[in-house]
C-alpha cells in the first residue's frame, strides 16, 4: 500500500516512521510520501488560504493550490518526502512475528484510482469497518485541511476523478487533519496482512465483533494483592471463551450501550 499525505506541516507526520508502521515500511509492505502543500502555492508569500466568501472568522484553503497538488500526488507526479523506517527491525523479529502470516500482496478495490480521504470534523464518523475496507486499497491520499477547512469545490472536483471520503475521527475539533491522519493511517495499516505479526491479534480487537474487548492479564498471578481471575488459570478453553464473552458484553453495556442497540 502507498499512503500520500498533503499538509502544510510535513513534520507532523514523522511519527508514521516509527514502531509498527516503520517496520511495515522496512518490510516493503508500506510506502509513505509526505508533501508540503506550499510547494504548489504560486504567489511570493506562498499563501495557501484566503478570506471566506460570505464573511465570518478564519480562513479557507484555496482551490487553486489544492487542485494541482492533489492531481500531482494522485497521479504519482510528486513523490514528496519519502519516509524511511526510524529504526531497523528486520533482524530482531518480535515474539508474535514468529506465528505471523506473511504478506500476500495487495487486493486494491478500484484499479489505479486512489482513494482520497479528507479529514474534517464535518465528515462521516471513522469506524473499524472503514479501516478494514480501506486496508485493501493500493493507494490512499490524505488531504489535511487547516483553518476553517478547504474550499468545497476541491472535494467536488476530485470526486469526478477519484473516490473521495470526508471523514471525522470523533466529535471534537482538532486544529487540523494531521493528527486524524496519524490515527486513521495506524488503524488502516495495522490490518494489512503481514503488518501485525500475529494475524489473530486483530481478529479479537474491540469492534471487530461489534463489542468492546474485555480485560487481559499476564504474570505474575498475584500483584499488589490483586489476583488474576481463576477461570483464566483453569485450562478450560470453553469456560475461558464464555468468560471473555461475558466480560465483553458487560463492558460494552457499561461503556458503550449504543453498540448493543445497533445490533
Ligand atoms: N480536523 C479537525 N477536527 C477533526 C476531526 N475531529 N476529525 C477529523 N479531522 C479533523
Q: What number is the average pLDDT over the span 28-37?
A: 97
The reported pLDDT for the residue numbered 7 is 98
The reported pLDDT for the residue numbered 263 is 52
In residues, how long is the chain?
A: 263
Whether residue 239 is contained in a domain is answered as: yes
- Strand 139-143 and strand 115-125: the pairing is parallel
Among the three residues 161, 190, 219, which one is the final residue of a domain in this structure? 190
Nearest residue (CA) to ligand 1, atom 7: 168
Q: Detail the residues annotated as belonging to a binding site.
A: 145, 169-174
Has residue 75 got a pLDDT over 70?
Answer: yes
Range of the domain at 104: 2-190
Ligand 1 atom at minimum distance from 171 CA = 6
Nearest-angstrom CA–CA distance, 45 and 38? 10
- For every residue of the chain, which 3-state class applies, written as one string? CEEEEEECCHHHHHHHHCHHHHHHHHCCCCEEEEEEHHHHCCCCCCCCEECCCCCCCCCEECHHHHHHHHHHHHCCCCCCEECCCCCCCCCCCCHHHHHCCCCCCCCCCCCCCCEEEEEEEEEEECCHHHHHHHCCCCEEEEECCCCCCECHHHHHHHCCCCEEEEEECCCCCCCCCHHHHHHHHHHHHCCCCCCCCCCHHHHCCCCCCCCCCCCCCCCCCEECCEECCHHHHCCCHHHHHHHHHHHHHHHHHHHCHHHHHCC
Kindly state the cell numbers that stand for 121.
470534523
pTM over 0.85: yes
Has residue 95 got a pLDDT over 50?
Answer: no
Contact 7, 70 (CB under 8 A): no
Is residue 121 flagged as an active site residue?
A: yes
Is residue 190 flagged as an active site residue?
A: yes
167 in the same domain as 74: yes
CA distances from 100 to 66, 78, 128, 177, 245 (A): 40, 34, 21, 33, 25
The reported pLDDT for the residue numbered 87 is 66
Nearest residue (CA) to ligand 1, atom 4: 121
Q: What number is the average pLDDT over the span 17-35?
A: 93
- Residue 120 CB less than 6 A away from ligand 1: yes
222 in the same domain as 98: no
Is residue 148 flagged as an active site residue?
A: yes
In angstroms, what is the span from residue 144 Cα to ligand 1's centroid? 9
157 in the same domain as 118: yes
Q: What number is the average pLDDT over the span 237-241?
A: 98
156 C-beta neighbours (distance < 10 Å), count: 11
Is residue 2 flagged as an active site residue?
A: no
Contact 169, 184 (CB under 8 A): yes
219 in the same domain as 258: yes
Q: CATH number, domain at 74?
A: 3.40.1280.10
Q: CATH number, domain at 211?
A: 1.10.1270.20
19 C-beta neighbours (distance < 10 Å), count: 14
The reported pLDDT for the residue numbered 160 is 96
Q: Which residues pair with 2 in a beta bridge?
A: 31, 139
Of 205, 244, 251, 256, catalytic: 205
Of 97, 148, 157, 213, catalytic: 148
Whether residue 125 is contained in a domain is answered as: yes
Q: What number is the average pLDDT over the span 44-71?
A: 97
Average pLDDT, the chain: 89
Contact 62, 151 (CB under 8 A): yes
Has residue 97 got a pLDDT over 50?
Answer: no
The reported pLDDT for the residue numbered 200 is 59
Q: What number is the average pLDDT over the span 149-166?
A: 97
Q: Which residues pair with 168 in a beta bridge?
A: 125
Which region among 9-13, 39-43, 103-107 has the lowest average model confidence (pLDDT)? Answer: 103-107
Which region among 52-56, 176-180, 208-212 has the lowest average model confidence (pLDDT)? Answer: 208-212
Whether residue 199 is contained in a domain is answered as: no
Cis peptide before 220 (omega within 30 of 0): yes
Ligand 1 atom at minimum distance from 173 CA = 3
Domain total in the chain: 2
In angstroms, what is the span from residue 174 Cα to ligand 1's centroid? 5
In angstroms, what is the span from residue 121 Cα to ligand 1's centroid? 4
Amino acid at each position: 500500500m502507498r499512503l500520500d499525505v498533503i499538509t502544510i506541516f510535513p513534520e507532523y507526520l514523522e511519527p508514521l516512521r516509527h514502531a509498527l508502521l516503520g517496520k511495515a515500511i522496512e518490510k516493503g509492505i508500506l510506502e509513505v510520501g509526505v508533501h508540503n502543500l506550499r510547494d504548489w502555492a504560486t504567489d511570493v508569500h506562498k499563501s495557501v488560504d484566503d478570506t471566506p466568501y460570505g464573511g465570518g472568522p478564519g480562513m479557507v484553503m484555496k482551490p487553486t493550490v489544492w487542485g494541482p497538488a492533489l492531481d500531482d500526488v494522485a497521479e504519482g507526479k510528486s513523490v514528496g518526502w519519502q519516509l524511511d523506517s526510524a529504526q531497523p527491525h528486520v533482524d530482531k523479529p518480535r515474539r508474535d512475528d514468529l506465528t505471523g502470516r506473511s504478506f500476500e500482496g495487495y487486493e486494491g478495490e478500484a484499479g489505479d484510482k486512489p482513494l482520497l480521504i479528507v479529514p474534517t470534523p464535518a465528515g462521516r464518523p471513522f469506524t473499524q469497518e472503514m479501516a478494514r475496507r480501506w486496508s485493501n486499497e493500493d493507494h490512499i491520499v490524505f488531504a489535511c485541511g487547516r483553518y476553517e477547512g478547504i474550499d468545497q469545490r476541491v472535494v467536488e472536483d476530485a470526486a469526478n476523478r477519484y473516490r473521495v471520503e470526508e471523514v471525522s475521527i470523533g466529535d471534537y475539533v482538532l486544529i487540523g487533519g494531521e493528527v486524524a491522519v496519524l490515527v486513521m493511517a495506524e488503524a488502516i495499516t495495522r490490518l494489512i496482512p503481514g503488518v501485525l505479526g500475529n494475524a489473530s491479534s486483530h481478529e479479537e480487537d474491540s469492534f471487530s465483533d461489534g463489542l468492546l474487548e474485555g480485560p487481559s492479564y499476564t504474570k505474575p498471578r498475584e500483584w499488589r494483592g490483586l489476583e488474576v481471575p481463576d477461570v483464566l488459570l483453569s485450562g478450560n478453553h470453553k469456560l475461558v471463551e464464555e468468560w471473555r464473552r461475558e466480560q465483553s458484553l458487560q463492558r460494552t453495556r457499561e461503556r458503550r450501550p449504543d453498540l448493543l442497540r445497533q445490533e
